[in-house]
Chains A and B, each alone.
Chain A
């Protein structure tokens, strides 16, 4: 809402400078976004009178004017325009003047003839023909204003208003009007304010003789008032109306249309004007649109209507979309004779739905959708008819047609100053509260407060408390510490999250944040099987684009995207993690599960399969669990298996559940992502671990007796996993085993192709005494026997 300060001064006299005014209104709840001083960028431009026009000695299309600018000698100014004649009043940009667009005018010579300034066109002053309909666009602006040579141009053409831009919240449609803001401004400064009471005389005549109104849907139209103006004279509005519309951001059109806009801005009540010639049957029907009906709206677009939309119709067809926009056919034209004014109250939700469906939000619809006061209809139409009379542009009938709800009970709300103070934490006296409330039209009677009808937002005591608080001053409310002791702690999930973050950063991983919605194509990019359940995503009905249209069922594609982006930015190495969420559908009308996941992505920096495995091991170690790692063979719980190198992927199993998958990215997937090096990923199902009963750590006494260490090396079949050998050794050694450590794996020369050489170091220790050689040797004998049974050939 752009407010003209000149207009405001019709209702309340404000002394404050614009900046102060904006601040003060903001602090009482009418937020100001900014303000603009009209013509601020025009300096040193005055009214001049053309004394003579003579030909230019060196040019056919330039002329030389002598111009009286009110002081001293006349100025000589050269111009290229052909529409100036002696006697004309024109805007003159003097030597050293400024014009919009950063133009600076200085004295100079044009084709050898001195020119002491410039005669200005509308455009050069930042104006258009809409602002001054009598002027021409391509020529000098010949002034038809009441002014004399030397007058400052701002005053001469009324370019001296201040326009303040308010951001009005949706609960205050009453403030989308000059009067509403005047009321707020007066209350802010404790200035007197009187509700305007428009009146007009009109020409005698019963409107019912020439117009009928039928409200067919009174749920969506609470009130409809029709007014009639006979014998209109269509023409431009007077300057003051045009100025005010311009300062409010609206384009002047013609006097009758301008009046409807003027009243909407002044009273906040949208108005419409119909050409009575085109209302077939002289009857207005407020009804729902019929299936298949269309209307060409004022903007020239054909709109398809649907039955839930409310329309204004004559006996044959819709002539306006109620509260949104009028029809082109029944609009005001230059030859219009009789005009019907509409001032109505339509249901906000219905207007909002209709405007949204038609994809047109207008000044009218944006007011209606917030909910307007049915009592606002009458003053608005009276004001419109008053303006017609004032402008002398037609003969308003002295009767109007008022249909629908005329009166309703004034809302009252309990008024308890004690409760208000206890709610705000203040000590404001009852009298002070009453003063604040009365300034904005509230009426306090004993322990009740009567709410003016235009305040649709006030429903209860808390609303009244806010009215008191905003005029008392939000920043005058004291500070008061919360009382009572509260015991706060992190939940198990948050503790897990923080632990994982600290482990991951200690492992050198950088945290990333990715979007939770992805493109369904991402599932193809990670080579997910066509029948994978992970392809069934929660799908957004109205996405911004396909790229962000489904909620991810796996966090890994997001990680791949980030690895790819960094690789393509030529970052030589990357080590990343994300604590993200997956969205796994349950049933169509139920919410999905949102399990927490940890993903890891690596490339470069010497990373290999065992780097990512080592990280996964460290993470599980930090959580306090020891899963089993193995290569998945047809028993993989992760459909993402197919994005990994088939020979370089492992899962981690804990308590009978696969809780992690990790490995090298499949070369084909890496190629899809444009990653030209080996990359590694992991996904850990964090959510499933949060609930696990992870045993508390307990202290084990430090060893008292020395350990015995023995090495064992063997040649065995290449396809025996090292983990299997290790497990076998552990079992064979028994309780004295402290640690089995792999120290060599070798394939190559001197070893048959299907074999490998493996060597372990075995540390044994007893808690009861020094382990004897005999005990250690006996254990080794068991180890060797077990290994031999597996087919391993032991080396000495």
Chain B
């Protein structure tokens, strides 16, 4: 019997060698280890053995059984690994096919830049406020030290609704509302649409956006203005950004300045974009004119302030290298999809 057991063990091993799939392996397991299997058949004959032989043969049978079981388990693991490897190979994908996801929409590039600027100023403690676009002459001009027939009105060709009501030509009108409505300290930013009677071309539009900044408090200096401008523009354009201030004239600020930024295109060396100057004009700024403070009921002997305003279109075009302002209002999806 012992020989028979050994023979079964050897036969099982030999057959196991030839097996290549899990179905065959199962057949083999049943053939040798199953209830009707060869080993079981032998075990059934144990009863005919003597009491001395029984433990010896029993032990041998168990050892053969566990040998076969181990070998089968090992083979099963091998087959599983092989099958898994084959499956992985079959499941290879072309990873360059496009992905699938619900498409997200996009904000208009001007809105992206507007929020960036708003967030910078919120971080610096400025409230964001809005004002009416259809406006009284008083808020757009007179309170800002631009009386009727002032030549400065020529530089802002204005759309009129009545003799007294117009489409605001500058967001500076909001300065007056804010100073009338709030008490210093005032720190506000006011973005919005403004209107000028310019025919539309690559650099002009009858509608465009300005962003107005106003600070009024005791002891506000021009040095505060310079610092705020630097801080804002470095956050917007990066630490390396350089600006310069040039004396200029606005009726509602004194001193007034135009602020230039090192040319985006040439970095200051001078090129066709900056007409060889190395700088491009970015915004207008200045100390709030004492007359404007007075017009708004703020005592200029106690308070001072600064203000500046910049064109959102210009900043957006500079940032993205857009060379035609019309694109911003045509809403061609092929354009909008680029941002």
Asked whether any CB of chain A lies closer than 8 Å to the CB of B264, the reply is no
Residues of A within 8 A of B244 (CB): 27, 474-475
Judge whether A29 and B248 touch: CB under 8 Å: yes
Q: Is the beta-carbon distance between B207 and A477 smaller than 8 angstroms? A: no
Contact of B290 with A460 in the complex, beta carbons under 8 Å: yes
- A270 vs B228: C-alpha distance in the bound complex, in angstroms? 43
Using an 8 Å CB-CB cutoff, how does the interface string of B144-163 with A read, 1 for contact, 0 for none? 00001111101100011110
**B320 interfacial by beta-carbon distance below 8 Å:** no
Instruction: Tell me if B249 and A462 are in contact (CB < 8 A).
Output: no
In the bound complex, how far is the Cα of B129 from the Cα of A153, in angstroms? 63
> Is A513 touching B222 in the complex (CB atoms < 8 A)?
no
| Residues of B close to A350: CB separation below 8 A | 149
> By the criterion CB–CB under 8 Å, are A510 and B105 in contact?
yes
- B105–A505 contact, CB under 8 A? yes
Does A8 belong to the interface (CB within 8 Å)? no
Q: Which of chain A's residues has its CB closest to B127's CB?
A: A488
Interface residue total, chain B, C-beta cutoff 8 A: 86
Number of interface residues of A (CB under 8 A): 91
A594 touches B254 (CB 8 A): no
- Centre residue among A510, A548, A551, A574 by max chain B CB count within 10 A: A510
Q: Once the chains are docked, how many angstroms separate the CA of A26 from the CA of B281?
A: 13
CB distance from B160 to the nearest CB of A (A): 5
Is the Cβ of A348 less than 8 Å from the Cβ of B254? no
Complex CA distance for A551 and B333, rounded to whole angstroms: 25
Q: Is the CB of A506 within 8 A of B105?
A: yes
Q: Do A510 and B222 touch (CB < 8 A)? A: no
Q: Is B122 an interface residue (CB 8 A)?
A: yes
Determine whether the beta carbon of A542 is less than 8 Å from that of B104.
no
Measured CB to CB, the closest approach of chain B to A65, in angstroms, equals 42
Flag whether A391 is at the interface (Cβ < 8 A): no
Question: Complex formed: what's the CA distance from A487 to B127 in Å?
Answer: 8
Q: How far is the CA of A490 from the CA of B127 in the complex (A)?
A: 7
| B328 on interface, CB distance cutoff 8 Å | yes
Question: Within the assembled complex, what's the spacing in Å between the Cα atoms of A542 and B332?
Answer: 29
Minimum C-beta distance from B293 to chain A (A): 10
Contact of B224 with A501 in the complex, beta carbons under 8 Å: no
Contact indicator per residue, chain B 78-113, by CB within 8 Å of chain A (1) or not (0): 000000000000000000000000111111101100
B217 touches A484 (CB 8 A): yes
Contact B125 A488 (CB under 8 A): yes
| Distance A505 CA – B123 CA, assembled complex (angstroms) | 25
Are A510 and B149 in contact (CB-based, < 8 A)? Answer: no
Residues 269 to 293 of chain B near chain A (Cβ within 8 Å): 275, 287, 289-290
Partner of A512, one of B136, B227, B336: B336
A516 in complex: contacting residue of B118, B193, B224, B230, CB < 8 Å: B193
Whether, in the assembled complex, B265 has its beta carbon less than 8 Å from a beta carbon of chain A, the answer is no
- In the docked arrangement, what's the CA distance between A27 and B260, Å? 11
- Residues of chain B within 8 A (CB-CB) of A370 are 151
CA distance A526 to B146 in the complex (A): 41
Q: Verify if B3 is at the interface (C-beta below 8 Å from A).
A: no
Cβ of A760 within 8 Å of any chain B Cβ, yes or no, is: no
Chain B residues contacting A477 (CB-CB under 8 Å) are: 222-223, 226, 245
Instruction: Classify the interface of chain B: helix, strand, loop or mixed.
Output: mixed
Q: Give the residue of B149, B222, B231, B333 whose beta carbon is less than 8 angstroms from that of A574.
A: B333
Q: Are A349 and B227 in contact (CB under 8 A)?
A: no
B128 contacts the other chain (CB 8 A): yes
Judged by a CB distance under 8 angstroms, whether A723 is at the interface is no
Chain B: minimal CB distance from A619 (Å): 12
Contact with B along A444-487 (1 / 0, CB 8 A): 00000000000001001111011001100011011111111111
Q: Is A575 an interface residue (CB 8 A)?
A: yes
In the bound complex, residues from chain A placing their C-beta under 8 Å from that of B108 are 510-513
Residue A577 lies at the interface, judged by CB distance under 8 Å to chain B: yes
For residue A551, which residues in chain B have a CB less than 8 angstroms away from its CB?
134, 167
A29 touches B129 (CB 8 A): no
CA distance A348 to B147 in the complex (A): 12
Q: Could you tell me if B161 and A541 are in contact, using CB atoms closer than 8 angstroms?
A: yes
Q: Is the CB of A489 within 8 A of B164?
A: no
Complex-state Cα separation, A566 to B330, whole angstroms: 9
Q: Which of B104, B206, B329, B333 has the most CB of A within 10 A?
A: B333
- B333: min CB distance to chain A, Å: 5
Residue numbers in B under 8 Å from A422 (CB-CB)? 219, 221
CB within 8 Å for A171 and B249 given contacts A511-B111, A591-B136: yes
Out of A349, A487, A511, A515, name the residue touching B148 (CB < 8 Å): A349
Say yes or no: A482 contacts B224, CB within 8 Å.
yes
Contact: A511 with B334, CB < 8 Å? Answer: no
| CA distance in complex: A350, B151 (Å) | 11
Residue contact B134 to A538, C-beta cutoff 8 Å: yes
**Contact between A349 and B149 (Cβ–Cβ < 8 Å)?**
yes
Minimum Cβ distance to chain A for residue B128 (Å):
6
* A577-B106 Cα distance, complex, nearest whole Å: 10
Cβ contacts A to B, 15 pairs, < 8 Å: A27-B244, A28-B247, A34-B275, A352-B149, A424-B221, A477-B222, A482-B224, A508-B104, A510-B106, A511-B336, A512-B331, A515-B329, A540-B160, A541-B160, A594-B133
Known: A352-B154, A576-B333. 11 other contacts (CB 8 A): A423-B221, A465-B287, A470-B255, A480-B224, A482-B124, A482-B220, A489-B122, A513-B111, A517-B207, A541-B162, A566-B331
Interface residues of A (CB under 8 A from B): 26-29, 31, 34, 169-172, 348-350, 352-353, 369-370, 422-426, 457, 460-463, 465-466, 469-470, 474-475, 477-491, 493-494, 498, 501, 504-517, 538-544, 548, 551, 562, 565-566, 569, 571, 574-577, 581, 583, 588-589, 591-592, 594
